[in-house]
Amino acid sequence: MTWHIGVIGGSGLHEGLALDEAQSIPVRSPFGEPSGPVTTGLIGGVRFSFLARHGAGHVLPPAAVNYRANIDVLKRTGVTDVVALSAIGSLREDLAPGGFVAVDQFIDRTAGRARSFFGEGMVAHVSLADPTCARLSALVADAAESAGAPVRRGGCYVAIDGPQFSTRAESALYRAWGGDVIGMTGMPEARLAREAELPYALLGMVTDYDCWREGEAVGAAEVFAVMKANAALAREAMAGLARVLPAQRTAAPADTALDGAFATAPGQRDGRLLAMLDGVAGRVLRKQE
């Protein structure tokens, strides 16, 4: 199997990647409007498809991003693995702005965002114990290191709704919970990638120390300035990823996340929802026909 890497670019990374033979493809989703068109092309012969998470010109706040449509269109584009690039705040002294973190755990504090492709008439439960793909995360970390970035392998990401940054009391609480970094978009993105059987890695770029340090408080201007300085490094990391990927893609645990996950009896399933799931759950649904 060949690799096809889907890259979701966050704050400061909306201009996309340097892709050979780039083509913009408007992919439609039954889950609504994605953040924008998918741009597909090649890096070093490997196929990459890019989607700007907040839309061109950063028009969508974190809570208004249609995470389901974004994951669904990447799946329909034929993506095999998803790399999320995000600005993150640091909850730890040793994770300094300018560094990268390959996140491996999440605490989800978001509410009111559509967090599953499944629902009434088609109930499914996937495992989220290990929400990121260890293989993909290691490759992404290798690539970021080869681009010259300091990289922390592993870290717990606290996802908040925003759009405001946290209070000092919240920031202290997240540290006490074991959070290492904080952001507004990693969830439900990671959950949905798992439901769509897409291995997911989140490469976070530390832009600030949030507000837990005395006398310091993060502001958007600071985040954007650090992201601007680091955007080239993130793009270089994706070029590096094309170089470190093994020639052939072997199976990853997330590829079969839906095996045994459906609870609703075949005769009780909602036909309309089933039709919408042809992209994300097509592999399993076709087997059951």
Q: Do the annotations mark residue 86 as ligand-binding?
A: yes
DSSP letter, residue 155: -
| Residue 263 binding: pick among ligand LNRAV4D5, ligand ADE, none (C-beta 5-8 Å cut-off by kind) | none
Helix (H) or strand (E) holding 158: strand 156-159
Using the contact rule CB under 6 A, the part of the chain among 40-48, 84-92, 125-133, 250-258 near ligand ADE is: 84-92
Residue 59 lies near ligand LNRAV4D5 (rule: CB under 6 A):
no
| One residue of 12, 89, 186, 240 binding ligand ADE per CB under 6 A | 89
| Residue 185 binding: pick among ligand ADE, ligand LNRAV4D5, none (C-beta 5-8 Å cut-off by kind) | ligand LNRAV4D5
For 82, 97, 99, the CA distances from 88, given in Å and listed in that order, are 18, 9, 10
User: For residues 198 and 34, what is the distance between their CA atoms, to the nearest angstrom?
Assistant: 17
**DSSP β-bridge partners for residue 101:** 152, 204
CB of residue 202 to ligand LNRAV4D5, shortest distance in Å: 9
Q: Do the annotations mark residue 184 as ligand-binding?
A: yes
The helices-and-strands tally (H runs, E runs) of the chain is 7, 11
Using the contact rule CB under 6 A, the part of the chain among 133-141, 150-158, 183-191, 246-254 near ligand LNRAV4D5 is: 183-191
Contact flags string 75-104 toward ligand LNRAV4D5, x per CB under 6 A:
-----------xx-----------------
Q: Do the annotations mark residue 11 as ligand-binding?
A: yes
Which residues, numbered 100-159, are part of the site for ligand LNRAV4D5 (CB under 6 A)?
none
Using the contact rule CB under 6 A, the part of the chain among 107-115, 129-137, 141-149, 182-190 near ligand LNRAV4D5 is: 182-190
Q: Tell me the two tokens of residue 72.
A: 């669904």
User: For residues 83 and 7, what is the distance between their CA atoms, to the nearest angstrom?
Assistant: 5
Which residues, numbered 155-214, are part of the site for ligand ADE (CB under 6 A)?
160, 165, 182-184, 207-208, 210
Residue 254 phi/psi, 5-degree rounding, is: -65, -20
Residue 35 lies near ligand LNRAV4D5 (rule: CB under 6 A):
no
Helix (H) or strand (E) holding 136: helix 134-146
User: For residues 184 and 208, what is the distance between their CA atoms, to the nearest angstrom?
Assistant: 14
At position 203, the amino acid (one-letter code) is: L
Instruction: Give the residue closest to ligand LNRAV4D5 by C-beta.
Output: 10
Burial 110-119 (b: 16+ CB within 10 A, else e): beebebebbe
Please report the DSSP string for 21-45 in residue order.
EEEEE----TT---SS-EEEEEETT
| Residue 208 binding: pick among ligand ADE, ligand LNRAV4D5, none (C-beta 5-8 Å cut-off by kind) | ligand ADE
DSSP letter, residue 250: P
Residue stretches of the annotated binding site for phosphate: 11, 53-54, 86-87, 185
Residue stretches of the annotated binding site for substrate: 184, 208-210
Residues lying near ligand ADE in the complex (CB under 6 A) = 87-89, 160, 165, 182-184, 207-208, 210, 218, 223
